[in-house]
């Protein structure tokens, strides 16, 4: 495409966003320098229609563990799409059975059964329903700052008031306790608690890794009080934190686990929740359709998830995430030490890394500057003082260097800009 053609289709697309999609969103994209058309992706690199190249450290909020358009996933999906993309919902679905078997084999503890859906929020909705039915109890304990999605049930257990307030009343019987505090968790669980829902590492609250005794304590408290433990691995799952599932860092096995994001291999939307035989028996024995989804478990999504999981295991992407994450985090910490007034901390696990700023507006300036240096990053939804780095797990060493160099320059430019502003 020539320059004039790119300019024309960009302008046209902006106008359509303004008229038909979301005018405020497009205004925000303009401010951040993101008012370009995303055109193609390959591995960790995203290209815009003008030919600009970016290392994708937002990764679609963590879906591109395998990078953009992973060839094995794309091939498997295209072949399936030509033959039978979606399920008739009448006969047996082989890709679903194969995927469920592999998930059972690699998931922690007793997790054996899989229900396929289409997104993270949908997986959380299913998990909450199943927990209520399996225990016969109504209440849920969740964490302050937690993020589980924006449908009504998932929002009810999420913990940022800004997103909750306009939609009240949400689900009754939800208590929010400070994340990482086992004592407060103990006070909140009682004989009416169906489940405790936690992220093993909080993502949208600014990449918060809990104290080492937290998840084991949550497991013990749930067992003692007859509540179920739901671990939401939508963001942490499938290698991101350096283990296939983040719960493995603490040897904790949940009763229910939710997955989405990377599950579809970065090619097809896919979500899932897994449960133990005891739970499935209580929920699905009498009526296998007590919870269902028209699109969930379609052949194309299952083939994408199965191939993505096979690639993740064969290429040991969790180990790659651990090693590359350590390098990236060390580099970010080194840069942080040179900007003690602007940067509070760099933290994370594997390739789920957050850099906390003293001020959310400064974080926004740095995000804008990073894009000019060919790196896409964004702040976390429940905590705008934190920029998250969640690049594809297949990131190369040279790309890590590029990201660190870009961050260093973005920090220097932002500091200069702030100094000029204060002087002026
Ligand atoms: C931990 C967690 N759970 C659930 C969700 C919701 O997923 P989705 O946006 O696919 O509904 C997210 C999304 O960021 C998430 O991070």
The answer on 331 and 276 residing in a single domain is: no
Protein residue whose Cα sits closest to atom 16 of ligand 1: 235
pTM of the predicted model, to two decimals?
A: 0.97
Phi, psi of 141 (to 5 degrees): -110, 130
In terms of residue numbers, what domain contains 341?
36-69+316-423
Tally Cβ neighbours within 10 Å of residue 71.
12
Which residue out of 159, 208, 238, 261 has the highest number of ligand 1 atoms within 8 Å of its CB and is therefore the one to mutate? 261
Give domain status of residue 195, yes or no.
Answer: yes
In angstroms, the CA 190 to CA 18 distance is 49
pLDDT digits (tens, 9 = 90+) for 144-202: 999 999 999 999 999 989 999 999 999 999 999 999 999 999 999 999 999 999 999 99
pLDDT of residue 106: 98
State whether the beta carbon of 232 lies less than 6 angstroms from ligand 1.
Answer: yes
Ligand 1 atom with least separation from CA of 146: 1
In angstroms, the CA 413 to CA 406 distance is 10
Cα torsion 345, 368, 383, 231 to 10°: value is -90
Q: CATH no. for residue 378?
A: 3.90.1150.10
Average confidence (pLDDT) over 107-112:
98
The answer on 278 and 133 residing in a single domain is: yes
Average confidence (pLDDT) over 82-109:
97
Give domain status of residue 163, yes or no.
Answer: yes
Residue 379 belongs to what H/E stretch? strand 378-380
Contacts of 405 (CB under 8 A, 6+ apart): 373
The answer on 84 and 225 residing in a single domain is: yes
Ligand 1 atom with least separation from CA of 232: 1
State whether the beta carbon of 61 lies less than 6 angstroms from ligand 1.
Answer: yes
Question: In this structure, what DSSP letter does residue 410 have?
Answer: H
| Strand pairing class (38-42; 45-48) | antiparallel
Tally Cβ neighbours within 10 Å of residue 384.
16
Contacts of 136 (CB under 8 A, 6+ apart): none
Protein residue whose Cα sits closest to atom 7 of ligand 1: 120
The answer on 134 and 262 residing in a single domain is: yes
pLDDT digits (tens, 9 = 90+) for 49-95: 999 999 999 988 999 999 999 999 999 999 999 999 999 999 999 99
The length of the chain, given as a count of residues: 424
Has residue 285 got a pLDDT over 80? yes
Q: CATH no. for residue 269?
A: 3.40.640.10
The answer on 320 and 310 residing in a single domain is: no
How many Å separate Cα 155 from the centre of its chain?
A: 15
pLDDT of residue 237: 98
Question: In this structure, what DSSP letter does residue 208 have?
Answer: B
State whether the beta carbon of 260 lies less than 6 angstroms from ligand 1.
Answer: yes
The H-assigned helical ranges of 237-316 are 277-284, 299-314
Ramachandran sector of residue 371 (left: φ over 0; alpha: ψ -120 to 50; beta: rest): alpha
281, 314, 347 - which closes a domain: 314
Is the Cβ–Cβ distance between 31 and 368 less than 8 Å?
yes
DSSP states along 15-54: HHIIIII-HHHHHHHHHHT--S-EEEEEBTEEEETT--EE
pLDDT of residue 421: 85
| Strand pairing class (378-380; 343-349) | unpaired
261, 285, 314 - which closes a domain: 314
The Å distance, Cα 383 to ligand 1 centre, comes to 15
State whether the beta carbon of 147 lies less than 6 angstroms from ligand 1.
Answer: yes
Ligand 1 atom with least separation from CA of 122: 11
Protein residue whose Cα sits closest to atom 8 of ligand 1: 120
Average confidence (pLDDT) over 7-24:
96
Is the Cβ–Cβ distance between 201 and 145 less than 8 Å?
no
- Band (pLDDT 50/70/90 cuts) for residue 358 is very high
299, 314, 329 - which closes a domain: 314
Is the Cβ–Cβ distance between 228 and 255 less than 8 Å?
yes
The answer on 85 and 59 residing in a single domain is: no
For residue 55, CA distances in Å to 222, 350, 398, 404 come to 41, 18, 11, 11
Average confidence (pLDDT) over 110-118:
98
């Amino acid at each position: 495409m020539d320059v004039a053609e790119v300019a024309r289709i960009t302008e046209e697309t902006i106008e359509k966003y303004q008229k038909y999609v979301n005018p405020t969103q497009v205004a925000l994209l303009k401010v951040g320098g993101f008012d370009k058309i995303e055109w193609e992706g390959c591995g960790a690199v995203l290209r815009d229609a003008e030919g600009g190249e970016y290392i994708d450290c937002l990764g679609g909020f963590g879906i591109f563990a395998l990078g953009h358009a992973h060839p094995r996933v794309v091939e498997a999906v295209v072949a399936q799409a030509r033959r039978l993309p979606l399920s008739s919902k009448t006969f047996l679905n082989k890709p679903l059975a194969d995927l469920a078997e592999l998930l059972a084999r690699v998931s922690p503890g007793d997790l054996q059964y899989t229900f396929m859906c289409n997104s993270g929020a949908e997986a959380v909705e299913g998990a909450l329903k199943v927990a209520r039915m399996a225990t016969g109890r109504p209440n849920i304990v969740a964490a302050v700052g937690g993020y589980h999605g924006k449908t009504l049930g998932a929002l009810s257990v999420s913990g940022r008031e800004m997103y909750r307030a306009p939609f009240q009343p949400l689900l009754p019987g939800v208590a929010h306790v400070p994340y990482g505090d086992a004592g407060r968790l103990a006070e909140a669980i009682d004989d009416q608690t169906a489940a405790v829902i936690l992220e093993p590492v909080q993502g949208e609250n600014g990449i918060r890794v809990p104290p080492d005794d937290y998840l084991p304590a949550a497991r013990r408290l749930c067992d003692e009080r007859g509540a179920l433990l739901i671990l939401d691995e939508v963001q942490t799952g499938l290698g991101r934190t350096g283990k296939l599932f983040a719960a493995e860092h603490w040897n904790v096995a949940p009763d229910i686990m939710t997955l989405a994001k990377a599950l579809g291999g970065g090619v097809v939307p896919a979500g899932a929740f897994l449960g133990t035989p005891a739970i499935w028996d209580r929920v699905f024995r009498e009526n296998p359709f007590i919870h269902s989804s028209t699109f969930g478990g379609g052949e194309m999504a299952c083939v994408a998830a199965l191939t993505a999981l096979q690639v993740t295991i064969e290429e040991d992407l969790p180990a790659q995430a651990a090693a590359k994450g350590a390098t990236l985090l060390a580099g970010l910490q080194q840069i942080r030490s040179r900007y003690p007034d602007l940067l509070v901390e760099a933290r994370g696990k594997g390739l789920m890394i957050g850099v906390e700023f003293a001020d959310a507006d400064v974080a926004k300036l740095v995000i804008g500057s990073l894009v000019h240096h060919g790196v896409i990053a964004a702040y976390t939804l429940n905590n705008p003082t934190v920029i998250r780095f969640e690049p594809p797990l297949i990131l190369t060493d040279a790309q890590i260097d590029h990201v660190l160099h870009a961050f260093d320059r973005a920090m220097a430019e932002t500091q200069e800009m702030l100094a000029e502003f204060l002087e002026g």
